[in-house]
């Protein structure tokens, strides 16, 4: 067992863990932050993506002890109190999720894409940068839309399309 | 239309918990005192279990119990069942070999369950599993679908020639005669590749036993918790239904694979009593590849007969279906009644005859995967039709139009009575969306850049709802396929809907609430949808076969009608009017010809306080239930067109455009329905271009992780152009047909038809990987060079 | 995973001492190969020496005619580094196309080079650019460093400290990704330094990364994609697996080589 301290969603946490503990296990089993998911064993599906010192990483392929002193943000820490993060709001507005399992990782990756590439994202960039996230439900169509809208909203715009889809669909 | 009622793209009520990380999936559930299960799986595809020595393992740290098939047998725990009886041509019942949850005497596929270790931690369970000594008598494996019946190895003693059944459907005599008279016959050999469903949430189970009550609880990743309880109770014998609660909380996708009752869930709930502790198991992805039921895996020879004008006369199909090592829960129905009755497609074909041989192999069980039988049928029909058009020198759109069914109802030669549809309208709209007229120019532009461009059609039909119960019963189903609903109106007018349908991505909490809001005139936020718990919902059949709208919502409509009828009685007392004079509209009960009214919430309160009426004349309360059994299948149909470009230098295929026009009947929430179409197309494109489960000759699954099994990613797909046409379904109250599987059914032939159009020859199989396409394109280039 | 002890040294020297002292110790860099292998219980080190806090293994700098990249520089850092983009843009491009964004935030050049996965990208760059692997004990030219599938010249207790790349006048990298794993099915790195031309191929060789002399000779005549017209790599010695057989991989070597030259000559 080894001592561990880090900051998770802005709060300091300390624990005594088995060195084998992966970051995702630490979050899910020790801190009961179950929004971060595990969908594969080969570091590909991205359901476990969190931000480690501001960068998107796969929490299933990171030892908790490697995060000593680091700052971790999970899907639970993204909203500002009750106010949803613009990317969360965009996923809801554009139906960028169905079963919801890949969603936390998708949203954390999406915010990371914006952090790296800015607010004006074209479809090709979004699709290529989603390389590390697999969704089986949506066919990605609405995820791509949501990320483009969320990226714009993070710059202060609205997450809605100029023409709200509710009317557009009629 | 209101902004929240039927037809509105209401944003989903369930999303808030998912986008904030507050969803509650099975693996998120932890019970006090919980222990962990690890399954020791067979590394061999086929072997006798000569001896399992668990003594050293049992002494290891943290181990609470180690169990094998012998322990299950000693406790008289029954085997896993197949709930659909198929009879062979000769009338004999299908040959079902035993399917114990933990292997007894023999293992039959890599991943088969040899033993379970329950320990304090998962690591301890796994450590102990490694210390179990198993003496395997390794046998040769049979893995090939086409040759399984001729293999020397026999998977089950009960099934000679590894044959489960030799089944057929249709009029052989009439079909053979039509072929004799035909002017043109198109023939194709088709392999429908084996797929692994891979919902992103792996299966999981937490079994719990309350010794005081003598009652079990199973939390599990199920699409149909009531069916799970029924099977675990009535067939496997875990506990009577009143002592077994099955809870399927948030479920992260299913696509069919979470319909079935599996070994792991069965063992976890049983083992909870054995060790006196809650027992948890969560599949890792490799286990999912090995042990989730796979999909498809057909080998088919198909023929289409036409007259001199290109009018279709008959179809003849011979299919071998690989069902894997054991018969999974509904496996036998997939290549039979969910397959052959769809072979008429959208076409007027007077005679059809289909033979299906189902075989056992030393591979994972095969069962329903999104579309289940209908994608296989559609692939046969739409490949045949496309190739026939090419051989006849006809435009594929015109050739389809020529043969479309135009009059409804239409009785096909293979069971189905199509109730309604307008196939030409969908085709026309799809052609407009894709700009079919502009295609030749786009093809020339591609050619100038050294690329091969192709366009492919798929005019699919599916049979959804999978009902009526009497009909499916006559075809061999062990269950009825109705649905239940209960409407509980609370005293202040809020509403709880208990449904036997289960939502695992489909958005029922929103669409069902829209229906209720629309019918009762109550705000959307005042409606809660409750599902997935056998202690709350009395009985239900679950979600699969695109049935939750057509069947599940119809049950809610029926119950809502009863609530409104009861409300009218209450209102009649309160408003002191004759019941016959009470109208209900926009959330208000009114008295005809007066301005007297009672809003729905007040009516609910009056129903519960019961001050205005005598409880002997009218029962207090406002709660109604209903069971809805459909009168026919529903028949969603549509046309998808795929346009793609091949780089002959690398074999890379890029889909450029995708037009999808679907007729789902009436639509409750277009946003959600379109999302279902997108996801279905992605899975169909996955089958056509990327995905394929492969076993080697020894029966090892060589595609057992995302490193080797290619899942569709965002940059493998384009955005889709989705349109709709509407012919309301006449057989259910909402006119709904169902939309969940359409994309997965439509997409594979559209892709392959486009690739073969680009290539100029038919020599390509699914998945059309870059290597396969490159090789096929070399053939195209050498032909072009020769010309 | 099997149990192990965990150590987090602050310097490469401390790491080396731990590596020497602890039985069956392994170095942990980005962990994107080692941890999945351990999760599957296919590796069972008794101790893990995590290099994540070794500041002396980080950093990217131009030193004269060389670009020096610390072993613990992540793929994302290399891809985004102004020094790399200026000196050898193809190397930044390569790093920016390894795995996916999350993998690039953890995976490191030292870890990738030490693992010498036959489908990894970096070995092709090191070989083509004539890089030098600097360890805590010696300097090894890339040509001597990669010795076979997952095999390198690294000895017991040896730690990669940095990789030094001579700056090339032109370089390009093209990879055909395995559609499932996104590793290189075939990756070709071409580099021109003065009159010297190197073409290194990863993903395809039965023995790991290798050079393609015929292409180098053809490009020596003229460094242009057209020079490779009609030049095909033999399928002999080329890897076959469920994703691609030797014939297809051999063909892709030619296609990727051309694309790499096009990138190097600004024609991509």
Per-residue pLDDT tens digits for B230-252: 999 999 999 999 999 999 999 99
C240 touches chain B (CB under 8 A): no
C44 and A CB contact within 8 Å: no
Instruction: Select A86-158's CATH number: 3.40.50.2300, 1.10.132.20, 3.90.650.10, 1.10.150.120.
Output: 1.10.150.120
What local confidence, expressed as pLDDT, does residue A167 receive?
36
Residue B1 has pLDDT above 60, yes or no: no
In this prediction, residue A169 carries a pLDDT of 35
**Is B569 exposed, middle or buried, given 0-12, 13-18 or 19+ CB atoms closer than 10 A?**
middle
Helix (H) or strand (E) holding A145: helix A141-154
- C100 and A18 in contact by Cβ < 8 A? no
* C48 touching A (Cβ < 8 Å): yes
Q: What distance separates the 2 farthest-apart alpha carbons in chain B?
A: 93
User: pLDDT for B129-150, tens place per residue?
Assistant: 999 999 999 999 999 999 999 9
Do you know the residue count of chain B? 787
Q: Say if residues C209 and C123 touch (Cβ distance below 8 Å).
A: yes
Q: Give domain limits for chain C.
A: 5-51, 58-166, 170-264
Query: For each of chain A's 170 residues, which pLDDT tens digit applies?
Result: 999 999 999 999 999 999 999 999 999 999 999 999 999 999 999 999 999 999 999 999 999 999 999 999 999 999 988 899 999 999 999 999 999 999 999 999 999 999 999 999 999 999 999 999 999 999 999 999 999 999 999 998 667 654 333 333 33
Least Cα separation, residue A20 to chain C (angstroms)? 7
Instruction: For chain B, give the percent of residues with pLDDT over 70.
Output: 100
pLDDT at B455: 98
Contacts of A162 (CB under 8 A, 6+ apart): none
Q: For the domain bounded by B19-139+200-253+258-291, which CATH number is listed?
A: 3.90.1170.50
- Chain A residue set in contact with C, beta carbons under 8 Å: 2, 18-20, 22, 41-44, 46, 49, 52, 55-58, 61-63, 65-66, 68, 109, 112-113, 116, 129, 131-133
Residue A168's pLDDT is what? Answer: 36
The complex's ipTM?
0.97
pLDDT value of position B342: 97
What is the reported pLDDT for C268?
65
Average pLDDT on B112-121 reads 98
Where does B482-628 sit in CATH, by number? Answer: 3.30.365.10
Residues of chain A contacting C29 with CB distance shorter than 8 Å: none
Name the CATH superfamily for C170-264: CO dehydrogenase flavoprotein, C-terminal domain (3.30.390.50)
Residue B370: name the closest of B706, B714, B680 by CA: B680
**Closest Cα in chain A to B711:** A134
CB contact under 8 A, B18 and A103: yes
Residues written for chain C = 268
Nearest-CA distance from C224 to chain B in Å? 18
User: How many beta-carbon contacts under 8 Å exist across A and B?
Assistant: 192
CB within 8 Å: C251 and B690:
no
Distance, CA of B95 to chain centre: 24
- Predicted pLDDT at A163: 39
Summary mean pLDDT of chain B = 97
Which pLDDT does position A164 carry in this prediction? 38
Q: How near does any CA of chain B get to the CA of C248, in Å?
A: 6
Residues B712-749 pLDDT 10s:
999 999 999 999 999 999 999 999 999 999 999 999 99
pLDDT band at C125 (very low <50, low <70, confident <90, very high): very high
B396-403: average pLDDT: 98
Q: Give the domain ranges of chain B.
A: 19-139+200-253+258-291, 298-466+632-786, 482-628
Interchain contact, C40 vs B286, CB within 8 Å: yes
CB B605 within 8 A of CB B492: yes
Domain boundaries of chain A, sorted by first residue: 2-77, 86-158
Residue B195 contacts residue B376 (beta carbons within 8 Å): no
Which chains reach chain C with 3 or more Cβ–Cβ distances below 8 angstroms? A, B
Query: Is pLDDT of B462 > 60?
Result: yes
Helix and strand tally (H, E) in chain B?
19, 28
The percent of residues in chain C predicted with pLDDT above 70, rounded, is 100
Residues 6+ apart with CB under 8 A from B374: B338, B339, B342, B460, B462, B463, B741, B745
Q: Is residue B467 scored above 90 in pLDDT?
A: no
Chain A partners within 8 Å of B284 (Cβ): 38, 41
Chain A CB within 8 Å of residue B155 CB: no
pLDDT of residue C180: 96
Q: Decide if C212 touches B, using CB distance below 8 A.
A: no
Q: Write the Ramachandran bin of B162: left for phi over 0, alpha for psi from -120 to 50, otherwise beta.
A: left
Task: Give the mutation candidate from C25, C74, C105, C111 for the A interface (greatest A CB count, under 10 A).
Answer: C105
- Of the candidates B110, B106, B48, the one whose C-alpha atom is nearest the C-alpha of residue B702 is B110
**CA-to-CA distance for B112 and B103, rounded, in angstroms?**
7
CA distance B118 to B281: 9
Task: Quickly name the fold that domain C5-51 has.
Answer: 3.30.43
CATH topology of domain A2-77: Ubiquitin-like (UB roll) (3.10.20)
Task: Write the pLDDT tens digit of every residue in B737-783.
Answer: 999 999 999 999 999 999 999 999 999 999 999 999 999 999 999 99
Q: What is the dihedral of CA C241, C245, C246, C250, to 10 degrees?
A: -120
Q: What CA–CA distance (Å, rounded) separates C198 from C142?
A: 12
Burial environment of residue C266 by CB neighbours within 10 A (0 to 12, 13 to 18, 19 or more): exposed
Q: pLDDT tens digit string along B642-674? A: 999 999 999 999 999 999 999 999 999 999 999
CATH topology assigned to domain C58-166: 3.30.465
Question: What's the confidence (pLDDT) of residue B376?
Answer: 98
Whether A101 sits inside 8 A of B201 (CB atoms) is: yes
Task: Test C180 with B710 for CB contact under 8 angstroms.
Answer: yes
Check if CATH label 3.20.20.150 holds for domain B298-466+632-786.
no
pLDDT tens, position by position, B317-343: 999 999 999 999 999 999 999 999 999
Average pLDDT of B488-493?
96
- What's the CA gap between B724 and B400, in Å, rounded? 19
Query: Does C243 sit within 8 Å of B769, measured CB to CB?
Result: yes
Residues on chain C touching B123 (C-beta within 8 angstroms) = 1, 3
Average pLDDT over residues C183-210: 96
Residues A97-132: tens digit of each pLDDT: 999 999 999 999 999 999 999 999 999 999 999 999
pLDDT of residue B769: 98
Given a cut of 70, whether residue B515 has pLDDT beyond it is: yes
Structure tokens of B649?
A: 């230098």
**A–C CB contacts, 8 A cutoff, strictly below:** 79
Mean pLDDT over B442-452 rounds to 97
Q: Are the Cβ atoms of B198 and A139 closer than 8 angstroms?
A: no
Tell me which H or E stretch contains C27: strand C25-28
Q: What is the pLDDT of residue A160?
A: 65
pTM confidence score = 0.97
Task: For residue A130, give the nearest of B24, B284, B714 by CB distance.
Answer: B714
For residue B173, pLDDT over 90 is answered with: yes
Q: Helix, strand or coil for residue B68?
A: strand
Q: Output the pLDDT for position A157.
A: 67
Residue A131 and residue C182: Cβ atoms within 8 Å? yes
C-alpha span between B403 and B415 (Å, rounded): 19
The 10s digit of each residue's pLDDT in A30-44 is 999 999 999 999 999
C60-89 residue pLDDT tens: 999 999 999 999 999 999 999 999 999 999
CB C205 within 8 A of CB C185: no
Q: Which chains touch B (3 or more CB pairs under 8 A)?
A: A, C
User: According to the model, what pLDDT value does residue A72 have?
Assistant: 98
Answer yes or no: is pLDDT of B614 > 90: no
**Residues in chain C closer than 8 A to A51 (CB atoms):** none
Those residues whose C-beta lies under 8 Å from the C-beta of residue B722, and which sit 6 or more positions away, are B660, B661, B662, B674, B677, B678
Residues B30-75 have pLDDT tens digits of: 999 999 999 999 999 999 999 999 999 999 999 999 999 999 999 9
What is the C-alpha separation between B287 and B281, in angstroms, rounded? 11
Q: Inter-chain contact A139–B15, Cβ cutoff 8 Å?
A: no
B597-599 vs B588-591, strand pairing mode = antiparallel
* CB nearest B702 (choices: C176, C181, C242): C242
Taking only the tens place, the pLDDT of each residue in B201-238 is 999 999 999 999 999 999 999 999 999 999 999 999 99
pLDDT value, residue B450: 96
Interface of C with B in 28-57 (CB under 8 A): 40-41
Across the range B475-496, mean pLDDT stands at 94
CB < 8 Å from A in window 245-274 of B: 250-253, 255
- Please check the confidence at residue B392 and state whether its pLDDT lies above 50: yes
Q: Is residue A23 within 8 Å of residue A17, measured between CB atoms? A: no
Closest by alpha carbon to A106, among A70, A150, A62?
A: A150
Bridge-based pairing of strands B721-725 and B652-663 is parallel
Average pLDDT over residues B536-542: 93
Partner residue opposite C248 with nearest CB, options B130, B690, B774: B774
């Amino acid at each position: 067992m080894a001592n561990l301290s880090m900051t998770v969603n802005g709060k300091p946490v300390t624990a005594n863990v088995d060195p084998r503990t992966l970051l995702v296990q630490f979050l899910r089993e020790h801190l009961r932050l179950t929004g971060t998911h595990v969908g594969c064993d080969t570091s590909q599906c991205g359901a476990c993506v969190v931000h480690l010192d501001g960068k998107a990483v796969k929490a299933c392929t990171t030892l908790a002890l490697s995060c000593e002193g680091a700052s971790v943000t999970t899907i639970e820490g993204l909203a500002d109190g009750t106010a949803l993060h613009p990317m969360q709001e965009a996923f809801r507005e554009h139906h960028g999720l169905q079963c919801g399992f890949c969603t936390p990782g998708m949203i954390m990756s999406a915010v990371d894409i914006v952090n790296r590439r800015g607010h004006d994202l074209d479809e090709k960039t979004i699709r290529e940068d989603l390389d590390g996230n697999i969704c089986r439900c949506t066919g990605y169509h609405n995820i791509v839309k949501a990320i483009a809208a969320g990226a714009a909203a993070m710059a202060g715009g609205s997450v809605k399309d100029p023409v709200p889809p509710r009317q557009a669909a009629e | 239309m209101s902004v929240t009622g039927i037809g509105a793209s209401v944003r989903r009520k369930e999303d808030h918990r998912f986008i904030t990380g507050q969803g509650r999936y099975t693996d998120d559930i932890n019970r006090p005192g919980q222990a962990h299960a690890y399954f020791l799986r067979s590394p061999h595809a086929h072997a006798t279990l000569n001896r399992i020595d668990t003594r050293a393992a049992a002494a290891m740290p943290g181990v609470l119990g180690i169990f094998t098939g012998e322990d299950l047998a000693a406790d008289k725990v029954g085997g896993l069942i197949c709930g659909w009886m198929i009879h062979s041509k000769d009338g004999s019942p299908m040959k079902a070999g035993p399917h114990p949850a933990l292997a007894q005497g023999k293992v039959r596929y890599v991943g088969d369950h040899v033993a379970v270790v329950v320990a304090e931690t998962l690591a301890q369970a796994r450590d102990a599993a490694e210390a179990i000594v198993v003496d395997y008598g390794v046998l040769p494996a049979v893995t090939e679908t086409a040759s399984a019946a001729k293999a020397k190895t026999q998977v089950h003693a009960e099934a000679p020639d590894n044959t489960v059944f030799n089944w057929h459907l249709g009029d052989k005599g009439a079909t053979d005669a039509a072929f004799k008279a035909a002017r043109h016959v198109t023939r194709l050999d088709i392999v429908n590749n084996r797929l692994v469903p891979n919902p992103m949430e792996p299966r999981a189970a937490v079994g719990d036993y309350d010794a005081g009550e003598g009652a079990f609880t199973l939390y599990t990743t199920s699409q149909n918790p009531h069916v799970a309880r029924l099977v675990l109770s009535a067939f496997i014998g875990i506990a009577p239904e009143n002592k077994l609660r099955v809870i399927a909380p948030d479920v992260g996708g299913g696509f069919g694979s979470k319909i079935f009752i599996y070994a792991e869930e069965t063992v976890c709930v049983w083992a909870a009593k054995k060790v006196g502790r809650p027992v948890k198991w969560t599949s890792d992805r490799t286990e999912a590849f090995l042990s989730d039921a796979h999909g498809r895996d057909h080998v088919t020879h198909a023929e289409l007969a036409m007259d001199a004008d290109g009018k279709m006369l008959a179809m003849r199909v011979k299919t071998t279906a690989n069902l894997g090592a054991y018969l999974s829960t509904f496996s036998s129905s997939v290549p039979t009644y969910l397959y052959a009755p769809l072979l008429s497609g959208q076409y007027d074909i007077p005679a059809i005859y289909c033979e299906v041989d189902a075989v056992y192999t030393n591979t994972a069980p095969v069962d329903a995967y999104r579309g289940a039988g209908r994608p296989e049928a559609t692939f046969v029909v739409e490949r045949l039709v496309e190739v026939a058009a090419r051989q006849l020198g006809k435009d594929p759109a015109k050739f389809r139009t020529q043969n479309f069914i135009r009059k409804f109802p239409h009785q096909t030669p293979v069971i189905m009575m199509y109730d309604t549809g307008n196939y030409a309208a969908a085709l026309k709209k799809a052609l407009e969306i894709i700009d079919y007229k502009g295609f030749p120019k786009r093809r020339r532009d591609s050619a100038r850049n050294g690329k091969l461009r192709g366009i492919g059609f798929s005019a699919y039909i599916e049979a959804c709802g999978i009902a009526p119960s009497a009909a499916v019963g006559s075809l061999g189903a062990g269950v009825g396929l109705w649905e239940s609903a209960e409407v509980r109106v609370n005293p202040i007018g809020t509403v709880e809907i208990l449904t036997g349908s289960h939502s695992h991505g489909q958005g029922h909490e929103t669409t069902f609430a829209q229906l209720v809001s629309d019918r009762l005139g109550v705000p959307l936020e005042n409606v809660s949808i409750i599902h997935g718990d056998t202690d709350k919902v009395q009985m239900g059949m679950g979600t699969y076969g695109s049935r939750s709208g057509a069947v599940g919502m119809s049950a809610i409509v029926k119950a809502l009608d009863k609530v409104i009828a009861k409300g009218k009685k209450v209102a009649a007392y309160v408003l002191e009017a004759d019941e016959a004079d009470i109208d209900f509209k926009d959330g208000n009960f009114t008295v005809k010809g007066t301005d007297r009214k009672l809003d729905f919430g007040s009516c609910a309160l009056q129903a519960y306080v019961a001050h205005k009426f005598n409880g002997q004349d009218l029962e207090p309360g406002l709660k109604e239930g209903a069971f809805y059994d459909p009168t026919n299948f529903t028949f969603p149909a549509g046309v998808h067109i795929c346009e793609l470009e091949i780089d002959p230098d690398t074999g890379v295929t890029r889909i450029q455009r995708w037009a999808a026009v679907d007729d789902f009947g009436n639509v409750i929430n277009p946003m959600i329905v379109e999302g279902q179409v997108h996801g279905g197309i992605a899975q169909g494109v996955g089958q056509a271009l990327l995905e394929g489960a492969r076993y080697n000759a020894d029966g090892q699954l060589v595609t057992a992780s995302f490193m080797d099994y290619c899942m569709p990613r965002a940059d493998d797909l384009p955005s889709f152009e989705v349109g709709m046409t509407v012919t309301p379904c006449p057989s259910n109250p909402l006119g709904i047909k169902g939309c969940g599987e359409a994309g997965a059914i439509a997409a594979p032939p559209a892709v392959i038809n486009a690739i073969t159009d680009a290539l100029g020859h038919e020599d390509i199989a699914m998945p059309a990987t870059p290597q396969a396409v490159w090789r096929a394109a070399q053939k195209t280039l050498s032909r072009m060079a020769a010309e | 995973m099997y149990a192990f002890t965990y150590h987090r040294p602050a310097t490469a020297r401390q790491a080396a001492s731990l590596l020497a002292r602890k039985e069956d110790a392994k170095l942990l860099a980005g962990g994107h190969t080692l941890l999945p292998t351990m999760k599957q219980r296919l590796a069972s080190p008794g101790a893990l020496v995590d290099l994540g806090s070794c500041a002396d293994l980080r950093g990217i700098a131009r030193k004269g005619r060389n670009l020096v990249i610390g072993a613990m520089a992540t793929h994302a850092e290399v891809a985004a580094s102004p020094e790399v983009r200026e000196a050898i843009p193809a190397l930044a491009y390569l790093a920016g196309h390894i795995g996916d964004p999350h993998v690039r935030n953890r995976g490191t050049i030292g870890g990738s080079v030490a693992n010498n996965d036959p489908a990894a990208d970096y070995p092709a760059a090191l070989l083509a650019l004539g890089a030098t692997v600097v360890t805590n004990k010696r300097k090894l030219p890339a040509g001597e460093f990669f010795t076979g599938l997952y095999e390198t010249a690294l000895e017991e207790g040896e730690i990669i400290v940095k990789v030094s790349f001579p700056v090339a006048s032109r370089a390009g990298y093209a990879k055909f990704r395995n559609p499932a794993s996104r590793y290189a099915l075939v990756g070709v790195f071409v580099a021109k330094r003065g009159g010297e031309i190197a073409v290194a191929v990863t993903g395809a060789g039965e023995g790991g990364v290798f050079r393609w002399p015929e292409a180098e000779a053809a490009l020596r005549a003229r460094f242009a994609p057209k020079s490779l017209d009609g030049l095909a790599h033999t399928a002999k010695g080329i890897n076959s697996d469920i994703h691609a057989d030797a014939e297809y991989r051999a063909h892709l070597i030619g296609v990727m080589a051309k694309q790499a030259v096009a990138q190097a000559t600004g024609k991509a």
